[in-house]
Amino acid sequence: MDSLDDRLTDSEIESPERRELIGNILRGGALLAASSSILAAAESLFPQEAEAQRSRAGNRSVQRVEHDYPLNTSHQLPANRTRTRPSTDYIILHNTQGNFQGDLNVIKKHAKANYLVNKDGMVYSIVRPEKWANHAGRSIWEGREWLSDYSIGIEIVGYNFEPLTDRQYTSLKPLVEELQKRYGIKDREVLAHFQIAYDVNHWTNWKKGRGRRKDGINIDWVKLGINHRTDDPDVKAGRVIPDEFLEAILAREERRKGIFGIGREDPETRVTEVLGPNIIEGKRTAWTIAGDDYNQPTTFYVAPNNTITAGNQISDWGAIATGTKVYTNTDLATVIRTARPIITLAQGETVWSNVQSAFNDATTCYVLPDSKDVIKGNKANFNRIGPGTRIVLDCTGPYEIRRDRGPSRYAGREYNTDNTIYIFPNGEMKTGNQIPNFSTLPKETQILVRKK
């Protein structure tokens, strides 16, 4: 590339327009990845202005950043989409509680994170790292509230109760290290969302209380190379009340690091109690399971009698039955598929109200009352389907069990779970986990295998 002074005459250099151009080059030099010769020429022509620009930039040198992780910038929002943060003092890690495409759309629409790390390890830059992202919400740490104003937010695709993938760790570790180096952030300032979030509601006795979010309880900080902070300065100072489950998460981490005498007995047992299935019982409430999503339309409660209610339709939280299952950040169709392996049409109900657009799928199976015959959705006469009809979604079969072809032949290790449905000769239907002895299955028993 020709140098700047080879291409500009003295008169052109002296013109106000050219001076403004060169000043802009100097001010934007850090953004010109392929224009080092232009920048050098501009600095040699106007050394005083160059020095002034370096001073205003904090004497940071201009260099091309090489990343140790796969980075996709095709979804990056315009620089003027949000304001520049007043300071960058923390890095906050989140779980998205969803799938990649849906997460990406929401984060872009609401500028909810600076970065998104997919399960395959790809890092997506959404909101530029120096810009404000709406990720922390109602939060407090060391007495400072609304930490979106002071932190970078990184969303990790996945749910709180499942581990991060190895590829996510492989990308997340160098990303965090790069940001720590760039902004001078120490390990103790790299936090999970659950550590900083709080809320004020009837679950917290109308005081500021932890427990609003569970993001980050599944992060292995050792794999990130982070000496993670496990105390809560705001609980210690009395600014917020603790959450028993989240205290146990931190206590377990302390114990694994060899820190004892922390005043929280048997954290492993407490964590195990809460990290079990998302079922309301004992100390496991809608709040401890779903946090501030407990009353959202994307949170569903499946009672022991299989009735399904969205969170925004519940008014009496004390009336929720023990044994109710909780599903967060999902939709009704997904819950039906997951929570009700056998759907029985009640009086006044329709096929559509139960299975919606899956009513005529080839993988939707209908068994009429007092019948053992299976009718596939794409061949069904819906005038015959009424109350008492059993419906199984996402299934293959039916397969007849024989002496030389047992249930595992068709269902594998799922033969004794609710992913396998048994249809007995008298028309009775049961899931695999309802059958105590498979050696006594009657002849002509059929099975349907639900896709996982």
Which tokens go with 114?
């600076």
pLDDT (0 to 100) of residue 67: 81
pLDDT (0 to 100) of residue 102: 82
The Cβ of residue 101 has, within 10 Å, a number of other Cβ atoms equal to: 10
Residues 86 and 194 in one domain: yes
Decide if 268 is inside a domain. Answer: no
Residues 32 and 103 in one domain: no
DSSP H helical ranges for 210-262: 221-224, 233-236, 244-256
Residues 179 and 307 in one domain: no
Decide if 282 is inside a domain. Answer: no
Quote the CA–CA distance of 212 and 292 in Å, as a whole number.
Answer: 5
Q: Could you report the per-residue pLDDT of 248-287, keeping only the tens digit for each?
A: 788 877 777 665 444 445 555 555 555 556 788 877 788 8
pLDDT (0 to 100) of residue 14: 42
**Does residue 105 surpass a pLDDT of 60?**
yes
Contact 191, 92 (CB under 8 A): yes
Decide if 156 is inside a domain. Answer: yes
What mean pLDDT is reported for the chain? Answer: 81
Q: Could you report the per-residue pLDDT of 362-408, keeping only the tens digit for each?
A: 999 999 988 889 999 999 998 888 899 999 988 899 999 988 888 88
HSE of 202, CA atoms in CB hemisphere, 13 A = 8
Q: Could you report the per-residue pLDDT of 224-247, keeping only the tens digit for each?
A: 999 999 999 999 999 999 988 888
Question: Can you name the residues that pair with 95 across neighbouring β-strands?
Answer: 156
pLDDT (0 to 100) of residue 29: 40
Residues 119 and 196 in one domain: yes
The CATH number covering residue 114 comes to 3.40.80.10
Interior angle at CA 187, CA 186 and CA 191, nearest 5:
110
- The DSSP symbol for 381 reads -
Q: 54 pLDDT band (50/70/90 cuts)?
A: very low
Q: What is the DSSP string of 152-175?
A: EEEEESS-TTSPPPHHHHHHHHHH
Decide if 266 is inside a domain. Answer: no
Looking at 281, 308, 336, the residue that finishes a domain is 336
Q: Could you report the per-residue pLDDT of 400-446, keeping only the tens digit for each?
A: 998 888 888 898 888 988 889 999 999 999 998 889 899 889 989 99
User: 321 lies in which domain range?
Assistant: 294-336
Decide if 186 is inside a domain. Answer: yes
Contact 309, 315 (CB under 8 A): no
Residues 215 and 363 in one domain: no
Looking at 308, 336, 364, the residue that finishes a domain is 336
Check the CA dihedral 239-245-250-254 and report its sign.
positive
pLDDT (0 to 100) of residue 258: 63
Residues 200 and 328 in one domain: no
pTM over 0.85: no
Residues 90 and 190 in one domain: yes
When comparing pLDDT for 223 and 258, which is higher?
223
Residues 370 and 418 in one domain: yes
**Does residue 76 surpass a pLDDT of 90?**
yes
Residues 26 and 141 in one domain: no
Decide if 348 is inside a domain. Answer: yes
Mean pLDDT is lowest, of 7-16, 81-90, 161-170, for 7-16
pLDDT (0 to 100) of residue 268: 52
**Does residue 352 surpass a pLDDT of 60?**
yes
Decide if 256 is inside a domain. Answer: no
Residues 202 and 327 in one domain: no
Residues 354 and 332 in one domain: no
Q: What's the structural domain count of the chain?
A: 4
Burial of residue 411, with CB atoms counted within 10 A of its CB: 0-12 exposed, 13-18 middle, 19 or more buried: buried
Decide if 412 is inside a domain. Answer: yes
Residues 303 and 352 in one domain: no
